[in-house]
Chains A and B, each alone.
Chain A
Amino acid sequence: MAAPIGNIKDRLFERATAIFAAIVLGLTLLLFALLLRESLPALKKFGFSFVTGTTWDPVAETFGALPFIYGTLVTSVIALLIAVPLSVGAAVFINEFAPPWLKGPVAFLAELLAAIPSVIYGLWGVFVLVPLLRDHFMKPVTKLFGWVPLFKGPVYGPSMLAAGVLLAIMVVPFILSVSREVMATVPQRQKEAVLSLGGTQWEMIRIVIGQHCIPGIFGATILGLGRAIGETMAVTMLIGNRPDILFSIFQPGYSMAAVIANEFTEATGDLYMSALVAVGLVLFLITFAVNIAARLILKQLLARASRGI
């Protein structure tokens, strides 16, 4: 029996959409396969020492990516240390204290921050943030606390600290919006319960939001980490691009994304190119793992909230 004509068209349309979905699957696999294929020569030659080696010397064809991994992690951690308290505090303010007419505009401004292209952050960072930090923060601090290894001079300006501060500004909108979402899932009744027992608003926030939102804020933090790790332009322009592992955050460093951005077009020789793609592969795998962790945490939390627990 021939199926009715509409049925065939329906099936054709469904197939057509499925083909496009398969293209997306194919593109993802292609991305991974290309990264793997191109980085294979470097990974074969250096093996595991590619991620533990500390020497990056294109002339001698020795490639160890640890300085970049280190720089990426240090800048991201600085960014989160600044961004998380600020965004959580701002989220509490917007959700709990701000008068209704102020909520919209503040959220809109935070959204605008997310819309600024990263090269503009970099430009502003180079010409405004770096001089500001150098003259009014880093110089006085090294003068007073130069004996602390973390703040050792000399102060140049471009540094892991500068890159971290700029990254903080850039990830704030993301952590803020997820934190607000998580805080909005707190049942109103629990807040009222604390207030009705005579608690102050701060006690209400500490008890209810504190208890409810810690995992969610943790998820938001990991999400921000994923952003910070992959950010390229702003870090490239501010970190100072020096492939050494230095403990002081006032010193220049280098990040995975920055080394790819800076050296890719001038990479002479197949092994050099392969090593840079391998840095990309490591970066890809790290962000992949970080994003999966963030998604799992947030999914679990929001599912729990929707069940009303």
Chain B
Amino acid sequence: MESIAFRRKVADRTMKLLFLIAAILVVAPLFLIFADLLWKGAKELKWSLLTDLPHPVGEPGGGIANGIAGTLTISGLAMAAGVPIAVMTGIYLAEYGKGWLASTVRFCVDTLAGVPSIIMGIFGYVLIVLPMKRFSAWAGAAALAMIFIPIVIRTTEEMLRTVPHSVREAALALGIERWKATLFITVRTAWSGIVTGILLAMARILGETAPLLFTALGNQFWQSHLDGPIAAVPLQVFTYAISPYDDWHDKAWAGAVVLILMVLSISMAARFFTREKKWKT
């Protein structure tokens, strides 16, 4: 009898320990990655990184300024196209959507959200690069918008659904037309949540590399036209990382630090937005 109780106790302790180890192993890579980023990125992390064009191999210095500008340009374009489409679709699904169109669109959103990002790159290539016969910021933006749109539709719909019906009814009871009530009361109420979704999607597309490989392509110089190849930070990190040169490897790490700071600052901004206002019923 004694031994059974003992065995059960041992099993209990052992399993608890294993669960703890699993939890530690899950978060450990995060610390390792951040430590390596800071340690290996520090070497090339200077002001010129943010202000200069890339230098050729062997020539010290140089930066990724064109990549930063390019990333912001492509993501900005993707957002400009994506926000209206996604938010309006989200409004449709949450406020009006019934019947075949709504269920089909929901299915499409789920499908798009699961499509690997490299396939969105093929989409941008076939849709824009092939007909225009050159790589361009437009093609990169189209690929990123396809990633951006389903994420924002989902969060917009979810956020609108958290607005209690009493709020809509109160607005309608005051004699406000329904479209005004939707836009200025319901959407306004859920706005901080919608903005959070937009920011999180933005953070996601900022770091995307695969869809840009054969759409934006990358560029060693400044690009003033949107219909030509354009640089992007993730592409630069990739190119530097797989190159055989040590000084380029250092630049890859420094570029990665810049990239992660861009992504994290936007994610943090998103968290700040949700914390600001929480709807209470």
A binding-site residues for B, Cβ under 8 Å:
6, 9-10, 12-14, 16-25, 27-28, 30-31, 34-35, 37-38, 85-90, 92-94, 96-98, 106, 109-110, 112-113, 115-124, 126-128, 169, 172, 176, 200-203, 205, 226, 229-233, 237, 257, 260-261, 264-265, 277, 280, 283-284, 287-288, 290-291, 295
Contact partner, A120, options B9, B115, B179, B237, Cβ 8 Å: B237
Decide: A119 and B237 in contact? CB cutoff 8 A: yes
Most buried by B among A12, A19, A176, A232: A232
Alpha-carbon gap, A267 to B109, bound state (A): 31
Decide: B125 and A264 in contact? CB cutoff 8 A: yes
Decide: A9 and B267 in contact? CB cutoff 8 A: no
Interface residue B96 (Cβ < 8 Å from any Cβ of A): yes
Decide: A110 and B177 in contact? CB cutoff 8 A: no
- In the complex formed, the residue of A with least CB distance to B105 is A21
> Which residues of chain A are near B21, meaning CB under 8 Å?
89
Q: Given the known inter-chain contacts A172-B26, A200-B9, A265-B213, please indicate yes or no for A34 contacting B127, CB distance below 8 A.
A: yes
Q: List 9 A-B contacts (CB under 8 A).
A: A23-B85, A23-B89, A24-B85, A24-B109, A113-B27, A113-B30, A120-B207, A127-B36, A261-B210
Write the nearest CB–CB distance from B211 to chain A, whole angstroms. 9
Alpha-carbon gap, A128 to B91, bound state (A): 46
Q: Chain A's interface: helix, strand, loop or mixed, by majority? A: helix
Decide: B95 and A17 in contact? CB cutoff 8 A: yes
Scan B92-116; emit 1 where CB is below 8 A from any A CB, else 0. Answer: 1101110001101100111110111
Contact partner, A200, options B12, B111, B253, Cβ 8 Å: B12
- In the complex formed, the residue of B with least CB distance to A95 is B19
Q: Given the known inter-chain contacts A25-B101, A122-B241, please indicate yes or no for A257 contacting B118, CB distance below 8 A.
A: yes
Contact partner, B249, options A30, A37, A127, A169, Cβ 8 Å: A127
Most buried by A among B11, B30, B37: B30
Decide: B33 and A116 in contact? CB cutoff 8 A: yes
Decide: B146 and A120 in contact? CB cutoff 8 A: no
- In the complex formed, the residue of A with least CB distance to B153 is A24
> Which residues of chain B are near A233, meaning CB under 8 Å?
209-210, 238
* 8 shortest interchain CB distances as A-B pairs: A230-B116, A117-B207, A89-B22, A13-B179, A20-B88, A17-B92, A291-B114, A232-B210
Write the nearest CB–CB distance from A163 to chain B, whole angstroms. 14
Q: Chain B's interface: helix, strand, loop or mixed, by majority? A: helix
Given contacts A24-B109, A24-B149, 12 further A-B contacts (CB under 8 A): A12-B179, A25-B108, A37-B126, A89-B21, A90-B25, A93-B23, A109-B30, A119-B209, A123-B241, A226-B114, A283-B119, A291-B111
Decide: A10 and B178 in contact? CB cutoff 8 A: yes
Interface residue B195 (Cβ < 8 Å from any Cβ of A): no
- In the complex formed, the residue of A with least CB distance to B127 is A34
Decide: B209 and A231 in contact? CB cutoff 8 A: no
Scan B213-242; emit 1 where CB is below 8 A from any A CB, else 0. Answer: 110010000000000000000100110011
Write the nearest CB–CB distance from B163 to chain A, whole angstroms. 16
Alpha-carbon gap, A27 to B252, bound state (A): 35
Q: Given the known inter-chain contacts A10-B177, A119-B234, please indicate yes or no for A176 contacting B213, CB distance below 8 A.
A: no
Write the nearest CB–CB distance from A1 to chain B, whole angstroms. 19
Write the nearest CB–CB distance from A226 to chain B, whole angstroms. 6
Decide: A90 and B179 in contact? CB cutoff 8 A: no
Q: Given the known inter-chain contacts A257-B118, A280-B118, please indicate yes or no for A20 contacting B84, CB distance below 8 A.
A: yes
Write the nearest CB–CB distance from A93 to chain B, whole angstroms. 4
> Which residues of chain B are near A109, meaning CB under 8 Å?
27, 30
Decide: B96 and A18 in contact? CB cutoff 8 A: yes
Decide: B108 and A28 in contact? CB cutoff 8 A: yes
In the complex, identify which listed stretch (B61-69, B256-264, B273-281) lies at the interface while the others stay far away. Answer: B256-264
> Which residues of chain B are near A92, meaning CB under 8 Å?
19, 22
Alpha-carbon gap, A17 to B16, bound state (A): 52
Decide: A201 and B146 in contact? CB cutoff 8 A: no
Alpha-carbon gap, A84 to B104, bound state (A): 32
Decide: A229 and B182 in contact? CB cutoff 8 A: no
Interface residue B32 (Cβ < 8 Å from any Cβ of A): yes
Interface residue B122 (Cβ < 8 Å from any Cβ of A): yes
Contact partner, A22, options B16, B101, B120, Cβ 8 Å: B101
Write the nearest CB–CB distance from A300 to chain B, whole angstroms. 15
